[in-house]
Structure 1
Amino acid sequence: MDLSFITEGWAGHLSYLLLVLSMLMRRMLWLRLFVIASALAGIAFDFFWLNNPVGVFWQTLLVLVNLAELFILWRNDRRASFSAEEKRFRDTLLPGLSPGRTRRFLDLGRWETLTPGTVLTCEEHPPDFLTYLDDGEVRIEAHGRLVRVVTGGHFIGEMSMMGDGRAVATATVQTRVRAWRIERVKLARLRETAPTTMSVLELGIARDMRAKLVFQNASGQVGGP
């Protein structure tokens, strides 16, 4: 084996190795940092070993583009602000999402004050919204029987995001409720356009479902819709 392939081209190997590693990063910050490091190693390889000005130009452009994207991420995070109810939502169910991404995600939905009797999900029907309950009480009924009463800090309609998309119970507002709601069609689009945001949301949903299962095991009741 020609050792010069390794010893003389180490910068080139490092560049591609860092690029491969960047694809394994789940957070955009680390992905872009690894891409920048890959491009810098590529610049060194193209300049010192290959004497390739075309490669140096494109690798430099790659560094500049990613630095610009990092600046935009930093600026969006700095500008993001949240109300008290939004902070509770983020801290409870979206802790892994950056401030800027959280702000964009919350802006896709809307905060509403719901009156008693409002139906959030209907058993055996796909709900139109995923709802986060910040305050108030919601009755959960299955087959005409009261299952439990859900209070603030939980999702309503999260089970419909799994399987055939039908709600497993009917959820009806029992007292005045403050809630954040997002349309299912927007979530479907988000799965394609912002997979990182959806991954964090799905983790939050899993965390919420686990909390409901703990409640179910402790009380002998069934989980939410």
Structure 2
Amino acid sequence: MFSTAGLVLQLSYALLVAAMLSGKPRLMRLLIALAAILILLRAALLVHDGAAIVWMAILLTAWLLKLWGDRRENAATTLFDEREEAMRSGCLNDLPRGAARLFIDQGLWLEGATGEILTNEGQTVDHIYFLASGEARASSGGRTVGMCRPGDLIGEATVLSGGAATATVTLVSPATFWCASTADVRQFLDDHDSLRITIERSFSNALREKLRAANRLIATS
């Protein structure tokens, strides 16, 4: 039969084995910390092993420092400026903050001038845009079919279908927009399959809203 000190030690070993089998870094570190706490308590209260106390105290200190560093890093990567926050709380609202940060980092923020064309009807769309400020006109066959305003996505249909642009989108005022390669966005979705459904749903919702607005505009013109 194991003594109390022996049972505690065996449980600690089991936690270390579980840590190695977990495959998840955070869970691994947590299990190792729990094992260290048990060994520390055993050394301090049951067997009075000074060396074990020192080593487990060092291990737990290292764990706390790592935990603190991870939290600082996570806090830094989930900070958003005004433009990014508008995008995160808009078309990326259903994503966790960390995932939104990763997605936004796939593109760049650019300034556009009046008259700049973002997409050409019937041509391949190489980039997707998020309009942070300014306005753009969507036209098909020379006829205005919609207006894009701050908070709107442009080119999301191509990411979903891979087809050509259904309208020409032209800036009608100076604008600030996020721009990312459609190839990069598709690769991001392939690499982050767990986020694909959420992002594609957001794109689909944006597309449906634009189609409804276009139908209303056509019906009243």
TM-score over 0.5 for the alignment? yes
Deviation at 1:62, TM superposition (A): 3.1
Distance 1:87 1:202, change over 3 A: same
Deviates more, 1:206-215 or 1:175-184: 206-215
* 1:144 to 2:142 alignment: yes
Q: Which runs of 5+ in 2 are unaligned?
A: 1-9, 31-66
Give CA-to-partner distance per residue, 1:91-126, whole Å, 9 cap, x none: 111112222222222111000110012111111111
Q: Secondary structure at the match of 2:200?
A: helix
Runs of at least 5 residues in structure 1 that lack an aligned partner in the other structure: 1-46
Q: Cα distance 1:125–1:73, how it changes in 2: closer, same or farther (>3 A)?
A: farther
Q: Which residue of 2 aligns with 1:135?
A: 133
What is the distance in 2 between the residues matched to 1:127 and 1:113? Answer: 19
Which AA in structure 1 matches 2:199? L
What is the aligned partner in structure 2 of residue 212 from structure 1? 210
Structure 2 counterparts to residues 72-221 of structure 1, below 5 A: 76-79=73-76, 80-220=78-218
Deviations 1:22-43 (A, max 9, x none): xxxxxxxxxxxxxxxxxxxxxx
**Aligned-pair RMSD on alpha carbons?**
2.9
Q: Which amino acid aligns with 1:154?
A: D
Identity score, percent: 25
Pairwise CA distance, 1:74: 5.5
Secondary structure of 1:93's counterpart equals coil
* Equivalent residue, structure 1, for 2:20: 61
TM-score of the superposed pair, with normalisation by structure 2: 0.67
Distance 1:218 1:146, change over 3 A: closer
Q: After superposition, give the CA deviation of every residue in 1:127-170 in whole Å (9 maximum; x if it has no partner).
A: 11000111111111111222122111111111222334211111
Distance 1:101-1:116 versus aligned 2 partners, 3 A rule: same
Change (3 A) 1:68 1:87: farther
CA contact (8 A) 2:116 2:170 kept: yes
CA contact (8 A) 2:146 2:217 kept: no
Seen in structure 2, the aligned counterparts of structure 1 residues 100 and 76 have a Cα distance that, compared at 3 Å, is farther
Alpha-carbon distance in structure 2 between the residues aligned to 1:219 and 1:146 = 8
| Alpha-carbon distance in structure 1 between the residues aligned to 2:150 and 2:121 | 21
Structure 1 pair 62–98 and aligned structure 2 pair: CA distance change class (3 A): farther
Report the residue type matching 2:111 in the other structure.
Answer: T
Does the aligned pair in 1 maintain the 2:146–2:210 contact within 8 Å? Answer: no
TM (norm. structure 1) is: 0.65
Query: Residue 134 of structure 2 contacts residue 174 of structure 2 at CA under 8 Å; is this kept in 1?
Result: yes
- The structure with the larger Rg is 2
CA shift for structure 1 position 193: 0.9
